[in-house]
Structure formats: C-alpha cells, structure tokens
C-alpha cells in the first residue's frame, strides 16, 4: 500500500511573532476587564537591536472607562514569556534596554455604527470576511489525544511546542530559551488511515555558554541538546506507538541556535502565524488573524464558532472529517453564507448536514459571544500552542472546544 505524508508546524511562546500575539491578546484581556463590550484591534511589532529593543503597539480601542496602561501590559507579557535579559534577545522589563511606543486611537465611527447595537438580532459583524472551522477523528485512537478531534500533525507539533515551554519554565532543561519551533510529518496509508510519525523537527534557542560544559566542543553540545530533546520532549509528548521505526529527528538543523535569538534574531508581528494557530494547513483558513481582536470581530469569534460546530458534528459521528465556512458582511448579523463539506465521510448529504448545523448553532456575532461566553479576559492563554485542539479548562479557557451533549443530540435528531 502506498503512503502519503503531511506536515504541520508550531512555534513556542517565545517565538517573536507569538510574543506579539501574547502582547496584543493581553491588551484585549485588559480592555475586557474594564468594559466587556470593549472594541479592540491592536497589533504589536517587536525587534531586538544591539543597543536596545523596541515594542511598537498600534491600533484602535474604544471602551467605557479609562484605557489600561498599554506600556506596562506589553512589558509584563513579554517578561512572563521569558524575555528579561538583553543577552538572550530582549529585556522587556528595563526601559533603558527596551522602548515601548504606543500608537493607539479610538475605533472608527463608521465601524461602530454597524457593530454597536442593542441586541443579538441587530448587532452586526465587525467586518466582512470568511472563516473556516474544521474537525476530524485522527486524534481519537490515542489515549493522550482523545477528545480533541483534530488533525494529528497539528496536534503533535502543538504538543511539542507546549512541552518546550514546560521544560524551560520548570528547569528541566535550564539552558533552553523561549524561542523555538517544531514540525511533525505524519505518514498516511493510501486509504487515509494513520501509519505513524515519519519526521520530527525541533529548533530551540539555547544558552551560548552551554558548550563550556563540554570543554568548548560544539559537537558534544549539539549531541547533548539532541539527547535531552529526545528524552524530555519527544518521548514525553508523542505517543510511543506513533513513532515509526527509524523515524527521523532533526534538532537545530542549521547547527547551533545560541543566544541572542528571539526578537534579536527575527522581528515579530501580530497575526503572522495563522496556520500555526489553526489546523496546521489541513483545514482551510479565511485569512484573518485572531490575536489583538475583541469578540465582535468575526475573524476571531466566528472562526471559534465554526470550529465548535465542526467538532460537534464529528463527535456526533455524522462525519469523520468536516469543514464549515461562514461568510459575513460588516454591520449584518446573519452570515451571508454557510457551506459545509464532509469530504465524502458524512453519513448523510452535505446539504442535510448544513441544515442540521444551522438548526443547532446560532452564528450571529452576539449569539456566538453569548453561547461561548466570549466577553471575558480569556485570550492571552490562546496566544501560543494553538487556538484549537486544546482541552477546555475549569477556568473557562478554550470554551469552543467544549462538547455539549444537548447539541450533539440535536444534530442527531434534526
């Protein structure tokens, strides 16, 4: 039987683009604490330089109350990720080593007039656009991944990036730095069933003095990094039965990835990792980023709702692979189109599935915010490790990953 390969990547919380996502989402959260109806669209750019780093905030905010301290929020978000040393790429805590520039105005009145209305029926979408939601059953054969209903390459690459954060923050690999990337290639049989993991790629910034533990030997340093990644990251993250015999592992493929890295090595920008944030390329994407946007922006909320609905369809057993597309017009509540595709895995037709989805889920922006309880400060948590395929928490994070038996029952009975 012939095989095919599919790869997905992820990045750590310290990747420069993800630092920007975290800062932008920390601002969203702070604004929602002040006013749960705040309108927020804030982008972040960061860059480390030899003398000092810079964080640039630009966008629009409208809220009832005093604006939060954007400078303090930005510094704290970057510091919490681990950027507290200029030597590794940025020290966000020291004003002499990091500037924060703020260019934030109020939201356009032409947008407000279509969005800020009194009720669910009339509150329009914050912009035009199209959003996709996707789910499949690839993760459901593996105990550690069960309940995610998510593409396997994306699920594994995301787990690796989250594990890199854990081993650094818990001191398991004290030489690890915040910046890193992961990639997983899964082999599939001709019939679409999973064969196993063919290739794992990781890049992790490390302490430039690590080689001193090996008398300056870069070869021994690299061997230590590789062995540590195998023991503490790969084997703790990917189910053993998924690792194919002789699977390929590439760690820091260009050689050393020593300090300084992070924003010094590469500028960061909000919204530049939209495939990492969603389905790793296996599900389609409408093009709109999530981070830095409040829930009135359907780029964010409707993408969450579409994922929520798609996951219910697969969990209900109505398809093993399912995608939803929603499209909106600025200022109009109802989506102008709803398209579904079961990729020939549905137990009923796509037309029938679309009717059941429409009867079970309300995709008007205010209804999405109500049903998923989105007007809360829950967004910084989403800024790294993926927005989808996560475990919903008791604290209310990732509510679009929650499965509701009543909605599954309605899908089955519609």
Which structure tokens are listed for 233?
Answer: 């990251």
Task: Find out whether 167 and 173 touch, Cβ atoms under 8 Å.
Answer: yes
Verify whether residue 273 is a known catalytic residue: yes
- Which residues fall within 8 angstroms of residue 282, CB to CB, at 6 or more apart? 6, 8, 134, 136, 151, 153, 154
Verify whether residue 410 is a known catalytic residue: no
Verify whether residue 15 is a known catalytic residue: yes
Residue 376's Cβ-count burial label (10 Å; 0-12, 13-18, 19+) is: middle
Of these residues, 159, 232, 272, 321, which one is catalytic?
A: 272
Q: Is 42 left (phi over 0), alpha (psi -120 to 50) or beta?
A: beta
Verify whether residue 99 is a known catalytic residue: no
SS3 308: helix
Verify whether residue 297 is a known catalytic residue: yes
Of these residues, 179, 299, 341, 371, which one is catalytic?
A: 299
Verify whether residue 266 is a known catalytic residue: yes
Closest CA to 98 of 52, 48, 58: 52
Of these residues, 60, 80, 140, 362, which one is catalytic?
A: 60
Verify whether residue 146 is a known catalytic residue: no
Verify whether residue 29 is a known catalytic residue: no
Verify whether residue 227 is a known catalytic residue: no
Question: 10 Å Cβ neighbour count for 277?
Answer: 26
Of these residues, 94, 116, 140, 266, which one is catalytic?
A: 266
Of these residues, 18, 159, 206, 307, which one is catalytic?
A: 18
Of these residues, 86, 293, 311, 364, which one is catalytic?
A: 293
Of these residues, 132, 150, 257, 322, which one is catalytic?
A: 257
Verify whether residue 248 is a known catalytic residue: no
CA pair distance 10, 150, nearest whole angstrom: 14
Q: Which residues of 292-317 are buried (b: 16+ CB within 10 A; e: fewer)?
A: bbbbbbbbbbbbbbbbbbbbbbbbbe
Of these residues, 273, 364, 380, 387, which one is catalytic?
A: 273
* Strands annotated E in 191-242: 194-206
Of these residues, 67, 187, 265, 267, which one is catalytic?
A: 267
CA pair distance 139, 145, nearest whole angstrom: 5
Of these residues, 297, 307, 356, 364, which one is catalytic?
A: 297
Q: Which residue's entry shows tokens 């998510």?
A: 150
Verify whether residue 18 is a known catalytic residue: yes
Q: Which residue's entry shows tokens 């020939």?
A: 344
What are the Cα distances from residue 270, in Å, to 21, 56, 132, 181, 236? 5, 11, 20, 17, 30
Verify whether residue 76 is a known catalytic residue: no
Of these residues, 9, 17, 371, 381, which one is catalytic?
A: 17
Of these residues, 9, 29, 43, 91, which one is catalytic?
A: 43
Question: Which residues are catalytically annotated?
Answer: 15, 17-18, 43, 60, 181, 257, 266-267, 272-273, 293, 297, 299
């Amino acid at each position: 039987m012939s095989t095919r390969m599919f790869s997905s990547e992820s990045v750590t919380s310290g990747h420069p683009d993800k630092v920007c996502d975290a800062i932008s989402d920390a601002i969203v959260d702070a604004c929602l604490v002040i006013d749960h109806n705040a309108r927020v669209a804030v982008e972040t750019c960061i860059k480390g330089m030899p003398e000092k780093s810079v964080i640039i905030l630009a966008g629009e905010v409208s809220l009832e109350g005093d604006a939060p301290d954007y400078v303090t929020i930005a510094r704290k978000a970057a510091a919490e990720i681990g950027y507290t040393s200029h030597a590794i790429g940025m020290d966000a805590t020291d004003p002499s080593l990091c500037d924060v520039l703020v260019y934030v105005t109020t939201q356009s009145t032409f947008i407000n007039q279509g969005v800020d209305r009194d009720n669910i029926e009339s509150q329009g979408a914050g912009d035009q656009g199209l959003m996709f939601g996707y789910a499949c059953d690839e993760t459901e054969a593996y105990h550690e991944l069960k309940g995610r209903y998510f593409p396997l390459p994306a699920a594994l690459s995301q787990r690796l990036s989250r594990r890199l954060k854990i081993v650094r923050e818990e001191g398991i690999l004290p030489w690890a730095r915040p910046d890193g990337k992961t990639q997983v290639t899964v082999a599939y049989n001709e019939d679409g069933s999973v064969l196993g993991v063919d290739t794992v790629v990781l890049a992790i910034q490390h302490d430039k003095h690590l080689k001193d533990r090996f008398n300056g030997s870069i070869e021994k340093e690299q061997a230590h990094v590789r062995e540590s990644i195998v023991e503490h990251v790969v084997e703790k993250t990917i189910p053993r039965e998924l690792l194919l015999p002789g699977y390929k592992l590439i760690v820091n493929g260009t050689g050393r990835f020593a300090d300084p890295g992070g924003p010094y090595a590469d500028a960061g920008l909000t919204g530049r990792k939209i495939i990492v944030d969603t389905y790793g390329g296996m599900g389609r994407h409408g093009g709109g980023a999530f981070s830095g946007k409040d829930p009135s922006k359907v780029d964010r909320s409707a993408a969450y709702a579409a994922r929520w609905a798609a996951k219910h369809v697969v969990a209900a057993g109505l398809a093993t692979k399912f995608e939803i597309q929603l499209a909106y017009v600025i200022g109009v509540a109802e989506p102008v189109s709803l398209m579904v595709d079961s990729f020939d895995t549905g137990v009923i037709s796509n037309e029938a599935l679309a009717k059941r989805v429409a009867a079970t889920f309300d995709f008007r922006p205010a209804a999405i915010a109500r049903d998923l309880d989105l007007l809360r400060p829950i967004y910084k948590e989403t800024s790294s490790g993926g927005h989808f395929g996560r475990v919903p928490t008791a604290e209310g994070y990732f509510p679009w990953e929650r499965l509701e038996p009543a909605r599954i029952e309605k899908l089955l009975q519609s």
